[in-house]
Amino acid sequence: MQIEKTVAGVKAQVKAWKKEGLSIGLVPTMGYLHEGHKSLIDRAVAENDRVVVSIFVNPIQFGPTEDLESYPRDLNADSLLCEKAGAALIFAPEPSEMYGEDFTTFVDMSGVTGELCGKSRPIHFRGVCTVVNKLFNIAMPDRAYFGQKDAQQLAVIRRMVRNLNMNLEIVGCPIIREADGLAKSSRNTYLSAEERQAALVLSRAIKTGQAMVQAGEKDGEKVLAAMRQLISEEPLARIDYVEMVKWDTIEIHHRVDCPVLVAIAVFIGKTRLIDNFIQEQTI
Ligand code: PAF
């Protein structure tokens, strides 16, 4: 497995693969890889001839008071995981390689970025769309893989690819959870033992909401109220949002009469965690 730090290095390799007629899968990540990322890499390896994993903590998607500096990094452990999983290349650039001194071009999107994480983190999706666009141009993948845990991000990327007529397929992959239900996240490492226990309130709320919807509850207000109530009983938890939106447009929608995304963001101490479920069918 190759580790490339430069855009030119990745482009040269990718062009050589393309010349041989090989298909390319891209798994964009910020590193500190866990089972969730591994599931994306496994799927990409199964569906493509060569897999590129990008590992880049993208500064322009973090707000000024967020965790850019403290975000966990471990390129050695990440390389081992990628190699074992069968990736062909890791792209691990420095910020200066991605954002030269003359960098002034951004991909901005309205509508689908207005609610949920887009509301709480105003510059976040502009940074995500810009870097993902760059990664697509660098790795030229046939397919790119994103986890459903960042459901709004998945909807945003799908919209971007459609709106800008990009030539690749976006593959969404299911949430991977710890044995006790907590959704896997690199940010789980911030949690103290007590907070780790308290963080289970997220998956419990998701389970509760999902069970209500699957039992036929169509009133979104009732579902959200039950979830908020459950979370408010955990002293270490502070709700950022608990919302129901249309899955394709991410517009607030409190009726289960179309595919809906129920998404939550909750601070456990200082750590902001997210979780969600998607109800595709109306029951
Ligand atoms: O989901 C992430 O880890 C990041 O937002 C992504 C897609 C790698 C862009 O930096």
CA 92 to CA 233: how far, in whole Å? 42
Using CB distances shorter than 6 Å, the residues near ligand 1 are 28-30, 58, 61, 128, 131-132, 150, 153
Return the residue whose CA atom lies nearest to atom 1 of ligand 1.
29
Pocket test for ligand 1, best of 27, 30, 176, 184 (most atoms within 8 A of CB): 30
Please provide the size of the chain in residues. Answer: 283
> What mean pLDDT is predicted for residues 56-73?
97
pLDDT digits (tens, 9 = 90+) for 181-225: 999 999 999 999 999 999 999 999 999 999 999 999 999 999 999
Check 37, 124, 253, 254 and give the catalytic one: 37
Instruction: Please list, in sequence order, all residues whose beta carbon lies within 8 angstroms of the beta carbon of residue 114, skipping any fewer than 6 positions away.
Output: 250
Range list of H helices, the chain: 7-19, 35-47, 75-85, 95-98, 116-120, 124-139, 151-163, 193-198, 200-214, 220-232
Q: Atom of ligand 1 at shortest distance to CA of 150?
A: 1
Domain regions of the chain by residue span: 2-173, 186-278
Q: What CATH number should be reported for the domain whose range is 186-278?
A: 3.30.1300.10
> Per-residue confidence at 283, pLDDT binned at 50, 70, 90?
low
124 is catalytic: no
Query: Hey, what CATH class is 2-173 in?
Result: alpha beta
pTM, two decimal places: 0.97
Query: Ligand 1: distance of its center to the CA of 30 in Å?
Result: 6
Residue 231, both tokens: 């979370």
Strand 237-246 to 89-91 pairing: unpaired
Asked if residue 73 lies in contact with residue 46, where contact means CB atoms within 8 angstroms, the answer is no
DSSP state, residue 247? T
List pLDDT tens digits, range 129-175: 999 999 999 999 999 999 999 999 999 999 999 999 999 999 999 99
